[in-house]
């Protein structure tokens, strides 16, 4: 052994202190800066539920009936059942075992919708069965938003009655609209189109007042009944499912109604206003009803090439109503489809537009009456 130190010792290396495991500490004063995020640019689609003390508890007992399979209604705990606009908790949904499936009325990327009938009362509902088994985080988020949507009470919003769980499968009980969606329908009468737009705007304004952004307004999410009442559907839960599904399987039809600044964040300095985005989607839907086709180009369908579709949305001129339309309708569409989101009026402001402010039609003839 050489004098002055142990074997293999090198000059300039600090020796480890006896009894200290591992390496010698280096520079404990060094820290890494945390990334900063501009929270003012984030759109919040749904408000947080109120604290548990603000609403009484509400639970649903399991039902025993034909085809129930031992399923039970998912309980809405105290923190998951906020009060509605009247200040009281919404009523509990009927037990799943008392709902009889009549027929399938629709299907999409998120699930299948069934017409069901409540056996004791004969009341019709729509039951949306979500595809797949979702992880716990997604289930908690869906449960939270369902609890909030149950409190939404407005004539132009499809009512959400509750949610069930059966063998890990989520099922949502909704108001049944017997006329189906407005997808693929043409509304040539401007008076009837104004009435449809008025109902839609009333529902959008209600959601926006509650700080709820829909984010997926399009004709297939607009439903009508035999009384020609138009209601907005499929918000909240549909957005969560779109976020959790494989992007390769996402619907191009949803992209078709997105606002330019939502697709290309450079168009508005990276700031996205969800309320203004809803107005763009609404205006594009109204123009599609009037034209009877998707408004962005004669040969560009909403289910076509997504790259060409996004280029048309972001870089082409905004679609406009044809010269044969009234000046009121042309002005209304122009207000909704401003490329600059700051120039788009709010839903409350659009309700004062002269195209909307006229009295609703008494007997519209442009849209075939849905089967009753």
Residue list for the binding site for ATP = 128
The verdict on whether 266 is a catalytic residue reads: no
Count the Cβ atoms, other than its own, within 10 Å of residue 232: 25
- Active-site residue, selected from the candidate residues 195, 216, 234, 278: 216
What does DSSP say about strands 111-118 and 222-224: parallel, antiparallel, or unpaired?
Answer: unpaired
In sign, the C-alpha dihedral spanning 49, 52, 54, 56 is positive
Show the 3-state SS of 119-170: CCCCCEEEEEEECCCCCHHHHHHHHHHHHHHCCCCCCCECCEEEEEEECCEE
Contact call for residues 207 and 235 (beta carbons, < 8 A) = yes
Q: Which residues contact 32 (CB under 8 A, 6 or more apart)?
A: none
Alpha-carbon distance values, 313 to 84, 218, 302, 310, 326 (Å): 38, 15, 11, 5, 24
Count the Cβ atoms, other than its own, within 10 Å of residue 337: 23
Q: What residues form the annotated binding site?
A: 128
Strand partners, 101: 116
- Please classify residue 39 by burial: count the beta carbons closer than 10 Å to its beta carbon, then call 0-12 exposed, 13-18 middle and 19+ buried: exposed
Between vectors from CA 202 to CA 201 and to CA 206, what angle results, nearest 5°?
A: 110
Alpha-carbon distance values, 200 to 180, 197, 282, 331 (Å): 15, 5, 8, 18
Name the residues annotated as catalytic. 216
């Amino acid at each position: 052994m050489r004098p002055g130190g142990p074997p293999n010792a090198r000059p300039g290396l600090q020796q480890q202190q006896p009894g200290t495991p591992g390496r010698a500490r280096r520079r404990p004063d060094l820290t890494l800066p945390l990334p900063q995020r501009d929270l003012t640019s984030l759109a919040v689609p749904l408000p947080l539920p109120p604290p548990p003390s603000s609403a009484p508890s509400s639970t649903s007992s399991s039902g025993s009936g034909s085809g129930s399979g031992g399923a039970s209604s998912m309980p809405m705990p105290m923190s998951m059942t906020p009060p509605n606009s009247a200040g009281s908790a919404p009523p509990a949904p009927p037990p799943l075992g008392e709902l009889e499936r009549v027929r399938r009325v629709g299907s999409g990327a998120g699930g299948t919708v069934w017409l069901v009938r409540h056996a004791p009362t004969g009341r019709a509902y729509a039951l949306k069965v979500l595809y797949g088994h979702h992880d716990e985080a997604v289930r908690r988020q869906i449960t939270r938003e369902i609890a909030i949507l149950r409190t939404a009470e407005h004539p132009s919003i499809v009512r959400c009655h509750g949610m069930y769980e059966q063998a890990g499968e989520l099922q949502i009980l909704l108001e049944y609209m017997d006329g189906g969606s407005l997808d693929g329908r043409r509304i040539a009468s401007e008076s009837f189109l104004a009435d449809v737009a008025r109902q839609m705007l009333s529902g959008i304004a209600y959601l926006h007042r509650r700080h709820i952004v829909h984010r997926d307004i399009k004709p297939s999410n607009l439903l009508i009944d035999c009384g020609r009442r138009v209601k907005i559907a499929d918000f909240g839960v549909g957005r969560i499912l779109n976020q959790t599904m494989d992007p390769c399987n996402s619907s191009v039809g949803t992209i078709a109604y997105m606002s330019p600044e939502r697709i290309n964040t450079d168009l508005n300095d990276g700031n996205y206003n969800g309320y203004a985005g809803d107005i763009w989607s609404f205006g594009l839907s109204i123009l599609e009803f009037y034209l009877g086709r998707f408004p962005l180009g004669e040969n560009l369908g909403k289910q076509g090439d997504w790259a060409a579709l996004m280029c048309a949305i972001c870089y082409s001129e905004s679609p406009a109503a044809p010269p044969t339309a009234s000046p009121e309708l042309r002005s209304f569409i122009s207000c909704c489809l401003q490329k600059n989101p700051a120039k788009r009026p709010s839903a409350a402001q659009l309700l004062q537009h002269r195209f909307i402010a006229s009295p609703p039609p008494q007997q519209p003839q442009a849209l075939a009456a849905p089967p009753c």
